[in-house]
């Protein structure tokens, strides 16, 4: 069964600290993996997208890594800011259909305290 | 800056009412989607469209219906709203010809049926 599991479910850190969010998936055949940031009551906003051949991709203070062999990804946030408080969602796309079906994790709820 | 717009942002209505959630995008994307998301849970695909006059049901069974008469417009309709329809509804679009592109999500409509 194609699944996307994220950990931790929630995380609280102090402003300025770094953190790493994890994503494990069983989706096959794999097409790409995306990380989204979703503020409360808003739609998800894309942070990074990685294909099979990419190991790492950065977007400002966000750095995503991908290990396609172990089917794991991580999102590292550097020097956290209060505005980083949001849900971070890992999304994996398969190559099994023309739809490019998306499989969503439940997200990690990050809270940054001053 | 989002190029996909959803209205209304919030809606509280009584049971049995007919409602239409609007979704419009200005990117000329052929593929559009409706997702349903409950708090703390993953997004579930309820409808999608490959283009004008194309509509399909998604993974999650829904009593809603959609139409795609114009490329830029993908409204979702509930003929008779019930409390079980209370949820957040997210519209998205994608262009598979854009290499490395992700989905673009709207800000969502938070529906409450009382």
Bridge partner residues of B105 (DSSP): B92
* Nearest-neighbour CA in chain B from A74: distance (Å): 18
Greater pLDDT, B97 or B34 = B34
Structure tokens at A110: 């990050």
* Nearest-neighbour CA in chain B from A102: distance (Å): 9
Q: Dihedral of CA A65/B97/A105/B113: which sign?
A: positive
Residue B70 has pLDDT above 70, yes or no: yes
Q: What is the pLDDT of residue A14?
A: 97
Across residues B92-105, what is the average pLDDT?
A: 73
Q: What is the pLDDT of residue A2?
A: 77
Q: Are residues A43 and B92, on separate chains, in Cβ contact within 8 Å?
A: yes
Of A66, A76, A56, A68, residue with least CA distance to A28: A68
Mutate to test the interface with A, among B8, B23, B60, B102 (most CBs of A within 10 A): B102
pLDDT band for B95, please (50, 70, 90 cuts).
Answer: confident
Instruction: Give the model confidence (pLDDT) of B7-62 as tens digits.
Output: 999 999 999 999 999 999 998 898 999 999 998 888 999 999 989 999 999 888 88
Q: What distance in Å separates the CA atoms of residue B91 and residue B74, rounded to the nearest whole number?
A: 8
Residue B99 has pLDDT above 60, yes or no: no
A4 CB neighbours in chain B (<8 A) are 42
Phi, psi of A95 (to 5 degrees): -110, 15
Ranges of residues in chain A with a pLDDT under 50 are none
Q: Are residues A34 and B48, on separate chains, in Cβ contact within 8 Å?
A: no
Q: How many CB atoms lie within 10 A of CB B6?
A: 23
- Helix (H) and strand (E) counts for chain B? 0, 11
Q: What is the pLDDT of residue A96?
A: 58
């Amino acid at each position: 069964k194609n699944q996307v599991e994220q950990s931790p479910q929630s995380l609280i850190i102090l402003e300025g600290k770094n953190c790493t969010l994890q994503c494990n998936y069983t989706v096959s055949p794999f097409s790409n993996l995306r990380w989204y940031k979703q503020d409360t009551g808003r739609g998800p906003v894309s942070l990074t997208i990685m294909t099979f051949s990419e190991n790492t991709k950065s977007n400002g203070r966000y750095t995503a890594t991908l290990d396609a062999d172990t089917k794991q990804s991580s999102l590292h946030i550097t020097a956290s800011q209060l505005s980083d408080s949001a849900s971070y969602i890992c999304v994996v796309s398969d190559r099994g259909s023309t739809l490019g079906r998306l499989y969503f994790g439940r997200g990690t709820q990050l809270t940054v305290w001053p | 800056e989002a190029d996909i717009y959803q209205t209304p942002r919030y809606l509280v209505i009584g049971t049995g009412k007919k409602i239409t959630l609007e979704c419009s995008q200005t990117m000329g994307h052929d593929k559009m989607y409706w997702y349903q998301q409950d708090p703390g849970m993953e997004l579930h695909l309820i409808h999608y469209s490959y283009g004008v006059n194309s509509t399909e049901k998604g993974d999650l069974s829904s009593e809603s219906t959609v139409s795609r008469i114009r490329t830029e417009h993908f409204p979702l309709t509930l003929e008779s709203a019930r409390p079980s329809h209370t949820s957040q509804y997210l519209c998205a679009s994608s262009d598979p010809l854009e290499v490395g592109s992700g989905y673009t999500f709207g800000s969502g409509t938070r529906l409450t049926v009382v």
